[in-house]
Amino acid sequence: GNADDWAGAMLQGGELEITGNAGHYVGSAYRGYWQGMKNGTIKVKGRVGVESMLWAKSSKPSNMWPTLYCGSADAFLGIHNHGGTIVVEGDVDRCAGADQAWGSIVIKGKVSRLLPSYKKVGEVKEVHLPNGEVIKGKFIEYSGDHTITKETKGRLYLAA
């Protein structure tokens, strides 16, 4: 079925599966917090609302990789991303990865508007995720968000 706003907010581990659509702020930090989802996996078969995966934060030493899989997404997906991984099967509304410092966003469809603060790196035939998964296909790799720092570790992969 469907889920309302804040599904999986501040998730610390485990797996949440939603067979329909989910509201806004999936896997996000509550207002006033600087860290959202820290570990675990959220799978949404349908669409997620605005600002999903807000302030996601990974930890390599602790082997914690917050991951969201979804069918499509509204605006500002992965805003303030600090190590989260997001895989979208379809299209995403504008401003994916705004203010992203590090982490990966893979979009197998289209983005209505790419932020100008992302720089094209090149084309790749597979994307390696921190959880060990490999996604095969033709993607254009972008680095960003360069409004944060000149040498960002954030990556955005768009279907070519």
Burial of 139 (0-12, 13-18, 19+ CB in 10 A): buried
Report the candidate in 134, 94, 138 with the shortest Cα–Cα distance to residue 118. 94
Quick check: 160 and 140 in contact, CB under 8 A?
yes
Which residue ranges make up each domain of the chain?
15-159
- Residue 149: pLDDT band (50, 70, 90) is confident
Within 10 angstroms of residue 112's Cβ, the number of other Cβ atoms is 11
pLDDT value for 39: 96
Give strand ranges (E) for 41-148. Answer: 41-48, 67-73, 82-88, 102-107, 119-128, 134-143
Q: Is the dihedral of CA 105, 145, 21, 43 positive or negative?
A: positive
pLDDT value for 97: 97
pLDDT value for 61: 84
Q: What is the pLDDT of residues 19-67, one digit of tens each?
A: 999 999 999 999 999 999 999 999 999 999 999 999 999 988 888 999 9
Across the range 85-98, mean pLDDT stands at 98
Q: Please, what is the average pLDDT of the chain?
A: 96
Q: What is the pLDDT of residues 6-30, one digit of tens each?
A: 999 999 999 999 999 999 999 999 9
Q: Which two tokens stand for residue 148?
A: 């944060």
- Residue 148: pLDDT band (50, 70, 90) is confident
Across the range 57-81, mean pLDDT stands at 95
Within 10 angstroms of residue 27's Cβ, the number of other Cβ atoms is 33
pLDDT value for 29: 97
